[in-house]
Amino acid sequence: MAAQTEVARYESRTPGPDGRIAYSGVEDSTWSHLYQRQMALMPSRACDAYLRGHEILDLPTDRVPQLTEVNARLSERTGWQVAPVAALIGFQCFFELLASRRFPAATFIRRPEDMDYLPEPDIFHEIFGHCPLLTDPVFADFAHRYGQLGARATRAERVLLARIFWFTVEFGLIRQTPGDDGLRIYGAGILSSPGETVFSVEDPVVERADFDPDMMLRTPYRIDIFQSVYFVIESFAQLYEVMDERLMPRIRVAIALGDQPPKFPPKDASQALC
C-alpha cells in the first residue's frame, strides 16, 4: 500500500495481449538471486503455512514468474488473483482490489543496485512475500474482509487500518508452538528481507508484543528501518475474527486517543511518520 504523497522511482511493466511480460535476462537473474538468498533463510524462520504455500505455487527459481501462472494456482486454491498495478496506488484502489479478492502487485523488479532494499514494493516482494499465504483459506478470507472494511472506511480510518496491515500482513510474527523456539514469520515485508528475516525472530532485545489491535492502531512505524516492535499472533483465526465491523468503533476510539509515542527516533523531526 502506498502513501498518496510518495513518488515512484520505478514504473510497472505492462503485460502483452497474452498476459505475459517479457522480462530481460538481468531481471530474471535478479529474481533468481533474490529467490535463492531468501529460501536459504526460510527453514526454522518462516511459518508452516507460508512454506506450504510455496509448495503450492511452485514458483520458478530462475526467472520472474508470470502473473498468469501464479493466478492459475491461487484461483484454484482460494479464489484469489494477483492484479497488475502501477508502482504506487492509493487507498481506494488498494482496498477495492482486496475486497474483490485481487492482490495488487507492481510488475517491475528491483535493479541490481537496489538488491538489498527499496522503499517501493516490487514483484519479488509481492509474489515471493505475499502470495504463498494467499493459498491459506483462513488468511485469504482475513485479507478479503480487511479489504471490505477498508473500501467502506473514511480516509482517517484507512490511515489506521493501514497500520493493521503493516503489523500483520507485512511485519507479523506467529507463535506456532509455545516458547521462543516456536516463533515464526508470516509478514511479507520480513520474508522478502534477508536482514529482517533473521533480526525479527533472533535478535535478543527486539520487542515482540502479543497481538493487540488497539495498540497496533495507535503505534506509528517507519518504512526505512527494521521494525522496533513486532506483534505476535497465535493463529490466523485471530486475524480473521477481529476483522469485522466491530473493529470500526475501536478505530474511532484510537483516533480520539491519538498515537502512542514512537519507539524509535524520527528520521527528521519535521517529517510525519506513517
Q: Which residues are catalytic?
A: 125, 130, 170, 192
DSSP code for 274: -
Half-sphere exposure at residue 8, Cβ-oriented, CA atoms within 13 angstroms: 17
Q: Helices (DSSP H) in the chain: which residue ranges?
A: 25-39, 48-57, 67-78, 91-99, 123, 137-152, 155-165, 188-191, 194-202, 213-217, 236-242, 247-257
Asked if 111 and 166 count as a contact pair (C-beta separation under 8 A), the reply is no
Helix axes 194-202, 25-39, angle to 10 degrees: 10
In angstroms, what CA-CA distances link 208 with 109, 175, 185, 220, 267? 31, 11, 12, 15, 22
The vertex-252 CA angle with 154 and 263, nearest 5°, equals: 105
Which residue in 146, 137, 101, 144 sits closest to 242, CA to CA?
A: 146
- For residue 227, give the C-alpha cell: 521494525
The vertex-240 CA angle with 171 and 206, nearest 5°, equals: 25
Beta 183-185 vs 229-233: how paired, if at all? unpaired
The owner of cell 524462520 is: 45
Beta 229-233 vs 207-210: how paired, if at all? parallel
What distance in Å separates the CA atoms of residue 260 and residue 215, rounded to the nearest whole number? 8
